[in-house]
Structures are given as C-alpha cells and as structure tokens.
C-alpha cells in the first residue's frame, strides 16, 4: 500500500463525507486506503461514511481520548508507506496527493511535509508551516504583533509570514490538519504523544521527527481547503478559528506540556508567566477597545476565552514522558 489517509472524526457532520469524496476523487493513480477513527461521535457521521464509502475502514472508539491518541490507532490499522494525517473539515484539491507523495519520493531526507491550506469560501490562506514556538516569537504571536506586522522578519518569524507564500522551504513544523509523513519517520519518533488531547501534538511530533535526523518541508504546489475549526463544536462558529473557553484552556495546557517536554524548567516557567501576562492584556483589550469595536457581548465572550488560559499556568505539573 502506497498511502494511508488517517482521519480523526468527532461529530464531523457533512464535512466528513465531503472530505472523503475529495480524497477518493483526487487520488489519481495512487494506491491508497482511508482509515477514519471516530472519537465517540453522536451525529451519525461515522455511520454515514460506512454507508457512502464502504471501502473505507471505520474504527469506532466509542469515546474521545483526543486527536493524538486516535491518530495512533489509525497508524496501527494502516499499511501505507506514507501516512497522511488529515482533518475531516478539509477538501483535497485534485492532484495534490500525487504531488505530495512524489515530493517525498524524491526528497529522501524529508520525513514530513505540509501543503498550502486555504479557506474554501473566503480563499484566505492559513499559516500552515511555522517555526518553533520559542519564547519571543510566541510572545509576538500572543499579543498580535505578528498579525499587525506580518512582513516583519522579527514579528513574523513564528508564522513565517515574512517569507514568500509560494516558496518551497524547510520549516520546523507543519499543521496536523494536513501532514504527509513517512511511516518510518513517524515510527522512529514513537508516534503521536497521547498526552496532547488537542493542540500542539503536531508541533511535538515534528520536533521529534527532526530530532531523528529528518527534515520537515513545505510544498505550496499542493493545496487543501480547510474550513478550520468546523470539525469541533467547541471552537467558535465565527472568525478564523477563534478559541472557545474550553479551547483556550486546552491550548494553554498543550503549549505548557510542549515546553515541559522540549524546553526545560526555566523556559517553561517563563512561558507560564507569559501566558498570564498576555491573557490579562487581551482580557483588558477586549473589555475596552474590543467591546467598543465589536460590541459588549463579543468583547465579554473573548475576554472569558482568554481568562481560561490563566488557570493552566498555575497547574499541569504531572510528569511528562520525554521519550515520546
């Protein structure tokens, strides 16, 4: 088997069948299989896949242990030389799968690969390939400076927005919404860390793949539509994937876990302080200027979301297994 497409589903609704349809229709000459791991959906989306795509493998876990754990289940059930980790709220453009696989066939040093992601309705391009979330670049991201000055090499470093969009390049990590990886690279890294329920699991596995000597690459010639956040009812319906209260707290827990694994105690302590400080800044911003510009209700909603990032900064001290 050449390619295994691994999709983690949780109440994917109508997006999931559309995603699979785009995969099968865009497969070209690739020999592929599709594995859908369902994390206890209640909307019948997994059953709909079984009805519409009987050739797809559907694994019903009956519970939600998170994105990383479900991807490990998909890896164990797969047989492809290449593994495509794909969100259910995506649409694969024709020819993109073949371009991505061909690139890894040619670039033997590349362990994983990301592509151009864009919103199917608005056409806006997503920041899908980034540098590591070191303290200073992450700070610029948290206080919006990378959005205010996207072309600045200083402020745009984390999102790599200062670099030409259509340029192939080596990066530190690519988003798990669409990540193609060599099986041997994923297995050498130990698979996904199930300690990440949601967020940062893609950064973590890319860091571990790179630590094994592989490169992470970005291929803009391949493109995938991404509705971004529509696969999770816990993300806000409006905006570019603005976090809900639950999502904001989960992101804080995940980035702290990432730092504890890869950055050491001192920088983790600085990260905790930074999360508290930037969250307080954004709470104040949304309760004043944000409320004036977007309305009191919206300002209060955003402020509650950022307030949820503060408690994890004072907790989440359980041991972390750095071997995975």
Average pLDDT along the chain, 324 residues, taken 10 residues at a time: 95 95 95 97 93 96 94 97 97 97 97 97 93 97 95 95 91 97 97 96 98 97 88 41 77 96 96 98 96 94 94 78 62
The pLDDT assigned to 239 comes to: 39
| Residue extents of the structural domains in the chain | 3-132+172-226, 245-314
> In the CATH scheme, what is the code of domain 3-132+172-226?
3.90.550.10
The pLDDT assigned to 321 comes to: 64
The pLDDT assigned to 323 comes to: 60
What DSSP string runs through 174-229? E-TTEEEEEHHHHHHHTS--TT-SSSSHHHHHHHHHHHTT-EEEEEEEEEEEE--S
- pLDDT digit string, tens, across residues 145-176: 999 999 999 999 999 999 988 899 999 999 99
Q: Angle 12-184-174 (CA atoms, 0-180°, nearest 5)?
A: 50
The pLDDT assigned to 166 comes to: 87
d(CA 324, CA 319): 13
Structural tokens at position 96: 């993109």
d(CA 194, CA 202): 11
| H/E run at residue 130 | strand 129-130
Structural tokens at position 279: 């969250």
d(CA 111, CA 19): 24
The pLDDT assigned to 316 comes to: 65
pTM for the model: 0.92
The pLDDT assigned to 158 comes to: 96
Residue 3 φ then ψ, to 5° = -135, 130
């Amino acid at each position: 088997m050449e390619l295994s497409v691994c999709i983690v589903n949780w109440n994917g609704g109508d997006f999931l069948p559309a995603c699979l349809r785009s995969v099968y229709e865009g497969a070209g000459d690739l020999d592929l299989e599709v594995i859908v791991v369902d994390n206890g959906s209640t909307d019948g989306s997994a059953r709909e896949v079984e009805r519409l795509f009987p050739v797809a493998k559907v694994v019903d876990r009956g519970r939600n242990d998170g994105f990383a754990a479900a991807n490990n289940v998909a890896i164990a059930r797969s047989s492809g030389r290449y593994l495509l980790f794909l969100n259910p709220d995506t649409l694969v453009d024709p020819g993109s799968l073949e371009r991505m696989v061909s690139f890894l066939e040619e670039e033997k040093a590349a362990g994983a690969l990301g592509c151009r992601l864009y919103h199917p309705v608005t056409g806006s391009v997503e920041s899908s390939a980034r540098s590591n979330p070191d303290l200073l670049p992450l700070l610029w991201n948290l206080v919006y400076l990378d959005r205010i000055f996207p072309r600045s090499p200083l402020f745009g470093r984390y999102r790599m927005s200062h670099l030409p969009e259509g340029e192939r390049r080596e990066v530190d990590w690519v988003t798990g919404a669409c990540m193609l990886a060599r099986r041997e690279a994923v297995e050498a890294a130990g698979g996904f860390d199930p300690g990440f329920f949601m967020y940062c699991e893609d950064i973590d596995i890319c860091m571990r793949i790179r630590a094994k000597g592989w490169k992470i690459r970005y291929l803009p010639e391949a493109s995938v539509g991404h509705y971004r956040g529509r696969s999770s009812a816990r993300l806000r319906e409006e905006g570019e994937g603005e976090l809900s209260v639950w999502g904001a707290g989960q992101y804080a827990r995940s980035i702290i876990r990432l730092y504890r694994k890869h950055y050491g105690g001192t920088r983790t302590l600085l990260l905790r302080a930074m999360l508290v400080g930037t969250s307080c800044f954004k709470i104040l911003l949304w309760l004043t200027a944000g409320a004036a510009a977007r309305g009191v209700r919206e300002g209060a909603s955003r402020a509650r979301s950022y307030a949820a990032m503060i408690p994890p900064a004072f907790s989440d001290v359980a041991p972390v297994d750095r071997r995975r």
